[in-house]
Amino acid sequence: MAYREKEIERLYYSIGEVAEMLQVTASQIRYWETEFNILKPRKNRKGNRLFTKDDIQSIKLIHYLLREKGLTIEGAKNHIKADTALTKSNFQVIDELKAIKKFLEELRERF
């Protein structure tokens, strides 16, 4: 059996890394932080934001509601406030389906 190193999973990501992941600006993320109470990143001594995977999921949810569903900020707030657990679970299903679609498209391109 071959030896495989376990991938090291990061606990925190900077605002620049998160912005690059989602193809948005850092200022948009800072603005969303002030508008949405589900987004509370930790800050280090310098005041730099440190985002966990849960924070990134929340940002993805906000991005989905605002950009893909076309809701206003107030509409997105109401949507999240109405049923946070249901909204997050629905978004996770959508996110997983997008990942499967991307995988299948890459597979089709190979063959």
Task: State the 10-residue block means of pLDDT for the chain, 111 residues long.
Answer: 65 92 93 91 92 90 88 89 72 81 88 76
Go through 83-99 and write b for each residue having 16 or more CB atoms within 10 A of its CB, e for each that does not: eeeebbeebeeeeeeee
Q: Is residue 35 part of a domain?
A: yes
Q: How many domains does the chain have?
A: 1
Q: Provide the pLDDT for residue 2.
A: 58
Q: Provide the pLDDT for residue 85.
A: 67
Q: Which CATH number goes with the domain that contains 102?
A: 1.10.1660.10
CB 95 within 8 A of CB 69: no
Q: Is residue 10 part of a domain?
A: no
Q: Provide the pLDDT for residue 30.
A: 94
Q: Provide the pLDDT for residue 17.
A: 93
Q: Provide the pLDDT for residue 99.
A: 85
83: containing domain: 15-110
Provide the token pair at 12. Answer: 């925190």
d(CA 106, CA 104): 5
Q: Is residue 4 part of a domain?
A: no
* CA distances, 109 to each of 68, 96, 98, 99 (Å): 26, 20, 17, 15
Provide the token pair at 66. Answer: 């605002």
Q: Provide the pLDDT for residue 68.
A: 85
Q: Provide the pLDDT for residue 7.
A: 65
Q: Is residue 5 part of a domain?
A: no
Please tell me whether the overall predicted TM-score, pTM, comes out greater than 0.85 for this model: no
Residue type, 67: R
Q: Is residue 3 part of a domain?
A: no
Q: Is residue 9 part of a domain?
A: no
CB 41 within 8 A of CB 49: yes
Q: Is residue 6 part of a domain?
A: no
H/E element, 49: strand 49-50
